[in-house]
Structures are given as C-alpha cells and as structure tokens.
Amino acid sequence: MSDSTPTSTTGSSLVKRGLADMLKGGVIMDVINVEQARIAEDAGATAVMALERVPADIRAQGGVARMSDPDMIDEIIKAVNIPVMAKARIGHFVEAQILETLGVDYIDESEVLSPADYVNHIDKWKFTVPFVCGATNLGEALRRITEGAAMIRSKGEAGTGDVSEATKHIRTITKEIAALRHLREDELYVAAKELQAPIETVREVAATGKLPVVLFTAGGVATPADAALMMQLGADGVFVGSGIFKSGDPAARAAAIVKATTFFDDARVVAEASRGLGEAMVGINVADIPAPHRLAERGW
C-alpha cells in the first residue's frame, strides 16, 4: 500500500489467520469457471476455490494435476467479490509464488493436485498470502502450522461424494486434541514426540483445547446433511468440491448447503434445505478405491 504509514504491517500471522476467522460458519466451493463462481457467490459461498478440474474429474481422468491457468484465475478474481482461493501442488513453491502474484486471497497447498515434492512442503512463512493445508490427524495439522499454514482443513477423500473419510479425519483431529487436554505437563514431551510436532505448539493446543488456526473440513461433502454433520463434529466450516457442480441442480444444492451450515444444529432447517435438490453427485465409495489412488495419503 503506497499510502501506509510506517506502523502498517501486512502478512502477519494475525492478518493471515484472521481471514480464515472471517470464513467461519461458511461454505467454500470449488469452481472451474466464471459462471460457476457467480453461481457459488449468489448461493452464499464465503469463498470460492478456483481450479481447472474438480477432484471427481481429476480422479476420473487421471494424469498429473497442476496449478490452474492464470487467465482462468484472473477471470474468477474479477467476477466475484468474495475471497478467491487457488491450489498449488504440495511443495511447489513457484506455483505458490505465481498465485501470490495473481492476488489470490488464500493458497491451498493441496493433495488433490499431484505433489511436486515428496519430502518437503512449501515454507509458507515466506509468503504474504496465507495458506490452507490438508491434514488427516493432529500431528499432520501441527506440522503444517509449523511450516506457516494459517488454516487447516481435514482432508477427507476428495472427489468421492463419500463423507466417511471426512468424518474419520475430523473425528481423529478433535479426539487427539481432547486427549492432549488430559495429559500432565510432563507427559506433553512424549506427546510432542509422538505427534512429531514442536512442544510449544503441543502445549498451546493442550492449554486451549483447539488448534491455533481455524479448522475446516473437506473431501466428500455432497449434501446439506453432510455439511451439518461436519459442523456438529466440530468443524469451523466446510469445503465442498465436486459435490455441488457434479450434482443435478448446483445453484439449489449450493444454497441448501449454506443454510445447513449456518443452522447445523437445527434439524428442521437441515430437513427443509434437503428437499427437492435433484440428484446428488453419483460418487464412489472410498472402500472401492485402491489405496495408491487415495488422495488423502499424499502429504505427511
């Protein structure tokens, strides 16, 4: 900002984590073009995730999945007022540099794309733009936060429409946090070793009973009931990928999932939101996917 004073600071943890706080209680929707982005915004999405292929298509078509074309991301940024997120491959810090230059509001270092580095994740502290990363358990979440992630989403199994992995991951994370609460101070050292996470972060989670950043859930959410389930299990909000634009009536389903996320604890609203939505995405049972093809196992 040319007009800032010397006391003005950008890219601080407070500012990065703060945007995730503003997204809470909301639905972040995968979109592949301007038309879908507008439908998502109109339906009440708190943000959109711009990507070239939704996970269901990445899964069906195979091949290497990479960062989207900058032109497509630019068009979506111009088309909507809500925050725009985009995905970079795990460890691909140059894709992240490009996305930052484009002015996306959040970068998802995502297992849905093909990893670029099977050893290192991106050093996210080097960026002004905040990052969200996937996690299947508490240790993985804390390692990503240590690398600078300002938001965590449980991974689930993207592109399936099967919510069971999302359930497993959010339950695992919340259960592991609860377990830390009951440990004695001198037991936290071993807990940190087992979680493969720094003792300072483990102490903070044990003291507060929550992650130091916002926790969304993702991967397999396809119905209003799925979204409300995630919220009742303790998620701060939900990502919906293929579930909306692979369904029969995306606009209606998107709006219904937004309603169910806000009124997640009111079964009458969720029931009402579930009516007349047409066909949900067909989906694929996670149990039918051979382990090497499961996206959640990318990242560590």
Partner 1 sequence: MTHEGSPLTIGVLALQGDFREHLHVVSSLGEKAVTVRRAAELDEIDGLIIPGGESSVMDKLSRTFELAEPLKAAIASGLPVYGTCAGLIMLADRILDGMAGQQTLGGLDVSVRRNAFGSQRDSFEEDLDVPVLDGESVHAVFIRAPVVDEVGPLATPLGTLADGRVVAVEQGNLLGTSFHPEMTHDYRFHEYFVEKVRARRA
Residues labelled catalytic: 87
Q: Which is nearer to partner 1, 84 or 206 (CB)?
A: 84
**Other beta carbons less than 10 A from residue 219's beta carbon:** 36
* Tokens read off for 178: 């609860």
Determine contact, residues 55/162, Cβ cutoff 8 Å.
no
Indicate whether 9 belongs to the interface with partner 1 (CB under 8 A): yes
* Tokens read off for 99: 């996305």
Indicate whether 18 belongs to the interface with partner 1 (CB under 8 A): yes
DSSP secondary structure letter of residue 171: H
Stretch touching partner 1 by CB under 8 A, among 36-44, 49-57, 165-173, 226-234: 36-44
Stretch touching partner 1 by CB under 8 A, among 126-134, 222-230, 243-251, 291-299: 126-134
Angle at 60 between CA 54 and CA 66, to 5 degrees: 50
C-alpha 151 chain-centroid distance: 8
Options 82, 183, 251, 289; binder of partner 1; rule CB under 8 A: 82
Q: In whole angstroms, what is the distance from residue 157 CA to residue 164 CA?
A: 8
Q: In whole angstroms, what is the distance from residue 136 CA to residue 140 CA?
A: 7
Q: Which is nearer to partner 1, 61 or 81 (CB)?
A: 81
Under rule CB under 8 A, how many of the chain's residues touch partner 1?
44
Q: Is 67 helix (H, G, I), strand (E, B) or coil?
A: coil
* Tokens read off for 125: 């502290």
Type of residue numbered 217: T
Options 113, 173, 235, 258; binder of partner 1; rule CB under 8 A: 258
Options 61, 62, 63, 81; binder of partner 1; rule CB under 8 A: 81
Q: Which is nearer to partner 1, 11 or 248 (CB)?
A: 11
Indicate whether 80 belongs to the interface with partner 1 (CB under 8 A): yes
Bridge partner list, 48: 29, 84
Indicate whether 105 belongs to the interface with partner 1 (CB under 8 A): yes
* Tokens read off for 115: 């990893």
Options 33, 34, 234, 263; binder of partner 1; rule CB under 8 A: 263
Largest CA-CA distance found in the chain, in angstroms, rounded: 57
Options 106, 131, 239, 245; binder of partner 1; rule CB under 8 A: 106
* Tokens read off for 220: 């397999």
Q: Which is nearer to partner 1, 45 or 58 (CB)?
A: 45
Residues near partner 1 (CB under 8 A) are 1, 3-5, 7-12, 14-16, 18-19, 21-26, 41-42, 44-47, 77, 80-83, 100, 103-106, 128-130, 258-259, 262-263
